[in-house]
Amino acid sequence: MRRLAAIISTFISLLLALGLKPVESAVTLDLNLTAPSNLEVFFLEDLNISGNAPSAVVFQATVSSDLFVPDAFFIFTMRNAQSEILRGESNSFFLKPATLQITNLDLTTDGSPYKLDDYDIGSDAEYIEQKLLETGYFPSDTYFLRLELYSATNGDSLLASDELNVLLTNPFDIRLISPMGTPASPTTINTTTPLFTWSSSANQFLLKICEKGAEGLDPESVMQSNPHYETNPADPLIGQSFSYPASGVPPLEPGRTYYWQVTSLVQTSGGMTEYPSQIGAFTLFQQVDPDAQRILSSLQWILGSNYQDVMGQLSGFQPNGDIHLDGSSLTIDEFEEVADYFLKGQYKMTAVSTE
């Protein structure tokens, strides 16, 4: 034995004398999100804790090893800044020198050698557990997903680990602002180019407008019919307003009632998902004077989201073409030029009042 130790020592000394170093054995683990980086909603079913539900690939781990580890095992945890929410430990498996790629499905699918044997819910995560039972998705928060690789030898020694964080915003809410009517009580508007506005924490939207018609359908059925106009699904709206085009689209007809709805596009752990708003409704005034229409359209550009409130205060009035700016009279053409500055963002409204 001493002779063998002396030979090994001599071999190492020779390597060092030649400027060479013994290669150190190593294990690395790299954890990455495979869902889009703008993931906003994480459904519990996509974590697939039960091991038998349809699921999505949410994250992937790449393990590189030049070791033989006969008793390797994984520990997966999910936590927020306050407490640990989930913890699971896999059965042991034989890790060979190789590059191994596994996903969250490998950690939860029956028959996988890396399946987590059991999950524990953190004792301080009762609020999150309750929300998961109520909604099926994790509450809005920043979550940390961590995967650790251990060897059961020498008291469960840690071989490698990695962690990623996910900010979940759950942007489901959409509040329609204008036109502000409902199917039961449509608001009357005086412009063929209304400005549709809404409020939401989401980032991408689709807008759909359907004519009520005379068939007596319920609002939901109307919205499932052929649209009078809808925005391009391949090019979602980014802002939270949309001005109905003055040309190139089917015009809104005086005296007719239209329903409208905004749908948010939300990136979830199961893919891009659509969440529709409530249904709004408006009726276009029976007679629209062309000059009055031009004035109202310009006012809409100037007033922006305040348009509906101001027009509500002026209910029953119609533009008469008498326009003044700082004491000077303006033609409708000149008024449209002023409105164009607001439309381009060169002028901004600071206050609005009616007399």
Question: Could you tell me the CATH number of the domain that includes residue 53?
Answer: 2.60.40.2550
Instruction: Quickly state the pLDDT bin for 177 (edges 50, 70, 90).
Output: very high
Q: Does residue 350 share a domain with residue 304? A: yes
Is 318 a residue whose pLDDT tops 90? Answer: no
| Higher per-residue pLDDT: 23 or 63 | 63
Q: Does residue 192 share a domain with residue 128? A: no
Instruction: Single out the residue in 129, 150, 168 at which a domain terminates.
Output: 168
Across residues 126-136, what is the average pLDDT? 80
**pLDDT at residue 336, rounded to an integer:** 86
Residue 4 lies in a domain: no
Q: What is the pLDDT of residues 38-72, one digit of tens each?
A: 788 888 777 776 656 556 788 999 999 998 999 99
- Phi, then psi, of 27 in degrees rounded to 5: -130, 130
**pLDDT at residue 222, rounded to an integer:** 95
**Overall number of domains in the chain:** 3
Backbone torsion region of residue 172, taken as left when φ is above 0, otherwise alpha when ψ lies between -120 and 50, otherwise beta: alpha
Q: What is the pLDDT of residues 222-232, one digit of tens each?
A: 999 999 999 99
At which residue do the structure tokens 């038998």 appear?
A: 52
Q: Does residue 139 share a domain with residue 127? A: yes
% of the chain with per-residue pLDDT over 70: 86
Q: What is the pLDDT of residues 234-252, one digit of tens each?
A: 999 998 999 998 889 999 9
For residue 157 the two structure tokens come to 């020694």
Q: Does residue 190 share a domain with residue 150? A: no
- DSSP letters for 20-56: --PPPP-EEEEEEE-S-TT--B-BGGGT-TTSSS---
Measured from the Cβ of residue 45, the count of other Cβ atoms closer than 10 Å reads 15
Q: Does residue 275 share a domain with residue 213? A: yes
Element (H, E) at 76: strand 69-79
Residue 13 lies in a domain: no
The answer to whether the beta carbons of residues 110 and 17 sit under 8 Å apart is no
**Chain mean position to CA 270:** 12
The answer to whether the beta carbons of residues 2 and 8 sit under 8 Å apart is no
Q: Does residue 36 share a domain with residue 160? A: yes
CATH of the domain at 256: 2.60.40.10
3 burial level (CB within 10 Å; 0-12, 13-18, 19+): exposed
**CA angle 200–206–212, rounded 5-degree value:** 105
| Higher per-residue pLDDT: 310 or 204 | 204
At which residue do the structure tokens 């987590």 appear?
A: 116
Across residues 334-340, what is the average pLDDT? 86
3-class DSSP state of 118:
strand
Residue 180 lies in a domain: yes
Residue 84 lies in a domain: yes
Q: Does residue 156 share a domain with residue 68? A: yes
Residue 33 lies in a domain: yes
Q: Does residue 327 share a domain with residue 232? A: no
What is the domain extent for residue 303? 290-355
Q: Does residue 164 share a domain with residue 28? A: yes
Q: Does residue 215 share a domain with residue 155? A: no
**pLDDT at residue 5, rounded to an integer:** 34
Residue 9 lies in a domain: no
For residue 289 the two structure tokens come to 């004077």
Instruction: Single out the residue in 138, 168, 198 at which a domain terminates.
Output: 168
Is 7 a residue whose pLDDT tops 60? Answer: no
Q: What is d(CA 98, CA 308) in angstroms, rounded to the nearest whole number?
A: 66
% of the chain with per-residue pLDDT over 90: 39
Q: 324: which residues sit within 8 A by CB, 6+ positions away?
A: 330
**pLDDT at residue 53, rounded to an integer:** 58
Q: Does residue 185 share a domain with residue 139? A: no
Residue 101 lies in a domain: yes
Across residues 332-340, what is the average pLDDT? 86
Instruction: Single out the residue in 288, 316, 334 at which a domain terminates.
Output: 288
